[in-house]
Amino acid sequence: MTRHHGILENLLHHLKSDLLKKKSVLAVFDLDSTLFDVSPRIQKILEDLRDRPETLEKYPEIIPYLKQVRTHRTDWGIKAALIRAFEKTSPPPAMFHHEARDFWAQHFFSNEYLHFDHPVEGAVDFVNTLHKMGVEIAYLTGRDWLRMGPGTVEVLKKWNFPTPDDSTAESQVRLAMKSIQGADDSVFKSGWFDSIKQHDYSRLLFFENEPKILHSVRQNHPEIEIFFMETTHSGKAEPDDNWIKLPNFLRG
Ligand SMILES: [Mg+2]
């Protein structure tokens, strides 16, 4: 039995009685590394980087090692996967790292590559269960609409997550994205919570994998109940000991 055993089951049990008392509940979900495992997206990006003509031409000696690249859910960006692949040999030239970083940024934040993400275990079932119970759902993501809007909606639908089209009188579904790239994620998400304050929810749940964002949101909105997803994070801040921690959304 793991330490997260029963947390979500217990939460659902309490939410049911809150909803029976006509209390309103909003569950807010981050997307990348919270509802979605992005490591297959990063894997595909690194494979396409390896197979493009410029790489084959400029760095033929590193191709065999690039073929060994395997991304993990716990990786942050591309660095860890590349370090593992080149463990037993000299690292690739610095220029390759620059080019890889640019290629990653260009494709990670694009509609096309979102299709390679996989939902975290239990995520689809959990969000749908909340939605059907009458909990309002919001996806709150640092992705921006301009580069990733249509792909985000398509991928949510593809995996059967409720989308804004599935909003009902009892349970609204929102998708909150930045309009364009650039704003700091913590500022953006904290600001979004400011904007929904007027709705007066009796419970506000926030599922997110980035401690820096959680600290910032918590500071301005102490009423929020935090569920920290233990997938991967930037390392810019550490999670608080008091946060509820979950590796996935499995309820057993
Ligand atoms: Mg995230």
Question: Are residues 62 and 154 located together in one domain of the fold?
Answer: no
Give the end of a domain, one of 65, 93, 114: 114
Torsion of CA 10, 15, 20, 24, to 10 degrees: 170
Torsion of CA 109, 112, 113, 114, to 10 degrees: 80
In this prediction the pTM is: 0.94
Question: pLDDT tens for residues 53-85?
Answer: 999 999 999 999 999 999 999 999 899 999 999
**Å from CA of 142 to ligand 1 middle:** 8
Question: pLDDT tens for residues 192-234?
Answer: 999 998 788 999 999 999 999 999 999 999 999 999 999 999 9
Question: Are residues 74 and 57 located together in one domain of the fold?
Answer: yes
User: Is 252 inside any structural domain?
Assistant: no
User: Is 1 inside any structural domain?
Assistant: no
Give the end of a domain, one of 114, 131, 152: 114
Question: Are residues 23 and 137 located together in one domain of the fold?
Answer: yes
**Å from CA of 204 to ligand 1 middle:** 18
Torsion of CA 92, 98, 103, 106, to 10 degrees: 160
User: Is 251 inside any structural domain?
Assistant: no
Question: Are residues 215 and 151 located together in one domain of the fold?
Answer: yes
**Å from CA of 64 to ligand 1 middle:** 32
Q: Is 235 helix (H, G, I), strand (E, B) or coil?
A: coil
Residue with tokens 């509820």: 244
| pLDDT above 90 (res 149) | yes
**Å from CA of 141 to ligand 1 middle:** 7
What is the rounded average pLDDT of the residues 120-129? 97
Question: Are residues 188 and 203 located together in one domain of the fold?
Answer: yes
Question: Are residues 61 and 185 located together in one domain of the fold?
Answer: no
Domain coverage including residue 184: 7-37+118-246
**Å from CA of 2 to ligand 1 middle:** 23
pLDDT band at 25 (very low <50, low <70, confident <90, very high): very high
Question: Are residues 108 and 23 located together in one domain of the fold?
Answer: no
| pLDDT above 50 (res 1) | no
**Å from CA of 59 to ligand 1 middle:** 33
Question: Are residues 57 and 165 located together in one domain of the fold?
Answer: no
User: Is 2 inside any structural domain?
Assistant: no
